Amino acid sequence: MTIIVHHLENSRSQRILWMLEELGLPYEVKRYERNPETMLAPPELRRVHPLGKSPVIEDGEAIVAETGAIVEYLVELADGVLGPGAHRAEVLRYRFWLHYAEGSLMPPLLLKLVLGRIPLLGKRASARVQPMIDRHLAYIEQELATRPWFAGERMTAADIMMSFPLEAARHRAGLDTRYPAITAWLARIHARPAYQAALARGGPYAYA
């Protein structure tokens, strides 16, 4: 059965396309454009899920929302491919980074984005968020300096989850050559054939 991905431009859903390409699972893309003034998702997405957000996938009668939940669903569907290895330390790292991406790293990135769109005082407040982001980037740099992938010696779904916030950080939150391990990791994921195939399927993506 073909999975339907409700894919919003320049959003978290790009990760789902990449993951499906890595897993070799058949899927169909339904692409949505953001409102050019508000940059919000269009109301059509509410017909798929009440929150009207992306990503959402349909797999037969199952409708799954939230990136992390979709990623875990796909790992199970693929019998553990891209899941953690057998070693306890790798399992713990995998679980940590899988949830850290949205639970810890994305909130200050979103706060900086929203505040930066508010004239005058918003930009001042946005500058005060940057040290929080810098602390996260320094921590991630330290971790990736010790191994090629977030969970260990091979790529897992944890890397897929971490891709969007780090791409966003490079685009608008100070991720540059001061962080060589993160920069090298981004180059590795962008060079993967499955990543490139996902870009071709999903349409223009500002953060690659």
Q: Which residues contact 122 (CB under 8 A, 6 or more apart)?
A: 114, 115, 116
Residue type at 46 in one-letter notation: R
Q: Return the structure tokens found at 168.
A: 């966003």
Report CA-CA distances (Å) from 163 to 12, 59, 156, 166.
9, 24, 11, 5
Residue 137 phi, psi dihedral angles, 5° rounding: -65, -40
Tally of domains in the chain: 2
**Chain segment 45-78, per-residue pLDDT in tens:** 999 999 999 999 999 999 999 999 999 999 999 9
**122 and 142 assigned to the same domain:** yes
Cβ(199)–Cβ(20) below 8 Å? no
**Chain segment 138-176, per-residue pLDDT in tens:** 999 999 999 999 999 999 999 999 999 999 999 999 999
**111 and 139 assigned to the same domain:** yes
52, exposed or middle or buried, with CB in 10 Å at 0-12, 13-18, 19+? middle
**Chain segment 25-37, per-residue pLDDT in tens:** 999 999 999 998 8
Tell me the CA end-to-end span of the chain in Å, nearest whole number.
29
Residue 70 confidence (pLDDT): 98
Residue 116 confidence (pLDDT): 84
**119 and 142 assigned to the same domain:** yes
**9 and 94 assigned to the same domain:** no
Residue 39 confidence (pLDDT): 85
**Chain segment 105-144, per-residue pLDDT in tens:** 999 999 998 888 887 777 788 889 999 999 999 999 999 9
**160 and 69 assigned to the same domain:** no
Which CATH number characterizes residue 182's domain?
1.20.1050.10
Residue 12 phi, psi dihedral angles, 5° rounding: -55, -25
